[in-house]
Chain A
Amino acid sequence: MRDRGLFWTPVPDWAEAELDRSGLRVSVTRELRQLLLVSGEVGAFISRRGVSGVLGPRDLALGPAYALRLAPDRVLCAFPSEHPVDLGWSEKGFAVADVTEGIIAFDVEGRDALALLQQGMSYDLTALDSRPAESCNIVLAGLRVAIVRRPEGWRLHVERPFATAVWTWLKSSIAHVTSSGA
């Protein structure tokens, strides 16, 4: 029986993983120390943690800490440092789960970042108008990623089991990128 381990690219060493070419750089985010999934009264949670508001996919995440809207009552909160948090239910009306270890985030930066992402994403990242109900969970190359705009490009939050697939896609697609996006 064929060893399917030979077919699939081995999981990269995430500490070393990086793609670099003129106008485009993809790397594993190192600045996130805590990722929390929060449901319910998310406003009550994020206000206590110094996050200004909930972002949609068209919004710009300026600071190191941010909250991404995944569903009307669910956010993914990202922090540059780890703080103690009570997991589970809070009397304030929200539930918290720690998903720091379950997500690998990639930064896609450079002038061709948009052209690269548009190869796998039907969502219109060029439009800048914010739409209140939009989820940051978007399908890229057939896989779900939570995306947010950063000053230098975009950040993709990928479930760890599919991180290798997204990485393989990024690596394959980078060859097709042209500056014009055409």
Chain B
Amino acid sequence: MSTERPLVEVHDAARWFDVSAPWLERVLSRKPRSILRAVDGVSFSIRKGETLALVGESGCGKSTIARMLVGLYPLTRGSITFDGQPISNMQGRSGLALRKRLQMIFQDPYASLNPRWRVGRIIAEPMLAHTDMTEQERDDRVDVLLTQVGLHPSDQSRFPHQFSGGQRQRISIARALAVNPEFLVCDEPTSALDVSVQAQVLNIMKDLQRNLGLTYLFISHNLAVVHHVADRVGVMYLGRIVEIADRDTLFANPQHPYTRMLLSAIPDMTGQGRKRTPVAGEVPNPLNPPSGCTFHPRCPFVRERCKIEAPATQNFKGVEIACHGVAEGWPMQV
């Protein structure tokens, strides 16, 4: 295993949103400030060439952390570095050079392309911002990119609405690859697509990763898709990471009670009558998270300590996990 520094390092990153009512209203109704802790202390690293998947349900903060990684949201706390350089510094000249190396693919294929622009112009936009290629050079590169994602060079003169969801997502990928980035953040890129179209897009993404040496951060709520694409998987719950492990380890031997609950809740095509951890409760309101370990109201193994103290992340045989029960070796069999 190489000892070189990971490409992306995230350390205790947090993003809080102030969603309080306006000042006057607060004074009159004596309400306290409302802070949404969308991401509340997340740490992980990604090696060059690998795919880290972040998985979780609504309100867990995975989309927020994705946007923090590309500089769309400033950090409230903590640090994110890309190849040693802090992401918080994405303004100005040096910021532009940094932006060239990381790009993002969004979830909604219908909203991520400007409906008034032609496809060729959309794909060429990063080139205009970062390089001084001539128009002919840009045209040629757009042809190459369209072919790489399985579309036709003549498609560059058409408008997004003339394409299907899966094709639009490919156009998004082509745009993201326009200036040869090293790192792609993919925010639920196939969640809005039909299953067979999803297969096409996932296959292309894997091919591209292999051919171009890309590093991916893959956000999803779909564990089966994650199982297909990821090398390592991180599970998020209410703004924190509860477990990170290698893909095979996580799926074969999940440690955190939430991970186990998630895995047993997935509707499965092949199995019937498999063991299930009882599924209880719903994701609480992120504005008012439970005390201590935020998962404690739904945890079948909860004890007093869980209600008071939030567990720290510890490393157990290569698995990073935040759970008192695992740390202290409580019996947690179903």
Do chains A and B interact in one complex?
A: no
